[in-house]
Amino acid sequence: MDSTPTTNITLTIRLIKSFEFRNFKNVVVHVDTATTTPLDLAAIVKQKVDSEGGLRPYRTVELDTFKLYTKAFGAKTQNLIINLDHDEDWILDMNATLAEQDGRMGGFENETEISFFNKAAYDAFKAHPETKW
């Protein structure tokens, strides 16, 4: 029998470098939703970016906002880089734990994907969602 608490889950964090060119890289992290806040999650991701060579291009990107992208076995958006809908519900409160934010999003499950991006770049892309490739 598995003794791992159900609050321990695996998340895929989508580091978005450019919305227009659809540049992103996935980082897999294991967290406890009962104790982890998005600020903690940002620190975990930053440590991975600083220590892994394949993430070197993302070291200069100012990432400051998390937003739910999709859940395992859930419907995905038509936009390949980020979900442009549900900003008020799916952008995470940086100070509340992931478990405290479950009600707004229907809960964090194993293999949930969360986008991590620069809010100013997102707002500019949302105003004019054009890709350049």
Q: Give the DSSP per-residue string, 42-101.
A: HHHHHHHHHH-GGGGGGTTS---EEEEEE-TTSPPPSSSS---S-HHHHBPPTTS-TGGG
Over residues 63-89, the pLDDT tens digits come to 999 998 887 776 666 677 888 888 888
Q: What pLDDT is attached to residue 83?
A: 82
pLDDT(126) > 70 = yes
**Cβ atoms within 10 Å of 41's Cβ, excluding its own:** 20
Residue 118: helix, strand or coil by DSSP? coil
Over residues 8-53, the pLDDT tens digits come to 999 999 999 999 999 999 999 999 998 999 999 999 999 999 999 9
pLDDT(124) > 90 = yes
Q: Which residue from 112, 15, 13 is spatially nearest to 55, judged by alpha carbons? A: 15
Q: What pLDDT is attached to residue 70?
A: 83
Over residues 90-118, the pLDDT tens digits come to 899 999 999 888 766 667 888 899 999 99
Is residue 9 within 8 Å of 36, Cβ to Cβ?
A: no
Angle at CA of residue 116, ends 60 and 46, nearest 5°: 50
Tell me the residue type at 56. R
* Euclidean distance between CA atoms 23 and 19, whole angstroms: 7
